[in-house]
Amino acid sequence: MKLTPEPHPNPIRVAWVDKTTIPVTERYLVPLNFATYRDQVWCDVLPMDVGHILLGRPWWYDHDVTHYGRQNTYTFTHDKKKIVLRPHRPKPIQYSTSQSNARNGPTISKENRLVEQTRPLYFLNKKQFCMEASSAVVYALVVREVEKPSLEPDLPLNLRNLLSDYSDLTPDELPDELPPMRDIQHAIDLVPGSSLPNLPHYRMNPKEHGELKRQVEDLVRKGFIRESMSPCAVPALLTPRKDGT
């Protein structure tokens, strides 16, 4: 670049990973050209193999740069002009369809076809497919539609349609939580000053008591009922069914 080094106004030492340090005593004024952006940046001189210039936090701060993450662009004002630095677009790749060059990767020839990197599908004619298949592995993929599980075939058509429309109301398992809050909340309004009935518990045999305890614990675990701290006793009854259970 034929640049002339200048003495560093504030000499520093740069530390490496192996805990060694290198003195920085010189710097260069490097010109930058990005489309319409022309500028100069002071760069410190170090013995490095990398030849890239990284515009880091100091350059961002000096130029008040704004980074837009979705567009991956950098915007700032230079010489009263708005500068927008955009990312590089991917370059197209040329693939050879000849058999002799198929093993050597991308080449340039008259028979090449220009393919963009961002294209999702590539189509080949019969001749091109035979050339590629003779030197590479070919996989056959079959796309099939996923079949939805049908309802019971024994049910009438109108009943199956009804169950399909309200399938979200009859889940296989009840959730272990309370239902969500609704716009309309139902409540029982108590008369102020009235006394609540305090009745004694009904006596139960051990079998009925065990069944009631099991049902209550299951409902408490699922969150449908909660333990009440009210001093009023509420009786719980188990009504036998016709089959005796």
Q: Is residue 10 part of a domain?
A: yes
- Segment 7-56, tens digit of pLDDT: 988 888 888 777 788 888 998 888 888 777 788 888 888 877 766 667 77
Confidence of residue 112 (pLDDT cuts 50, 70, 90): very low
Q: What's the structural domain count of the chain?
A: 2
**Both 15 and 79 in a single domain?**
yes
Q: Which residue has the higher pLDDT, 242 or 135?
A: 135
The domain containing residue 122 runs over which residues? 93-135
Q: Which residues face 5 on adjacent strands?
A: none
Residue in 89, 90, 84 with CA at minimum distance from that of residue 67: 84
Residue listed under structure tokens 């056959």: 140
Of 77, 111, 135, the position where a domain reaches its end is: 135
Q: Is the full-model pTM beyond 0.75?
A: no
pLDDT, position 111 = 45
Amino acid at 63: H
Q: End of a domain among 135, 158, 193?
A: 135
Residue given tokens 């019969």 in the structure block: 126
Tell me: do 74 and 116 sit in the same domain. no
Residue 207 has pLDDT above 80, yes or no: yes
Task: Output the pLDDT for position 53.
Answer: 67
CA atoms of 97 and 131, how far apart (whole Å): 7
pLDDT tens by residue, 124-143:
778 888 888 888 888 878 88
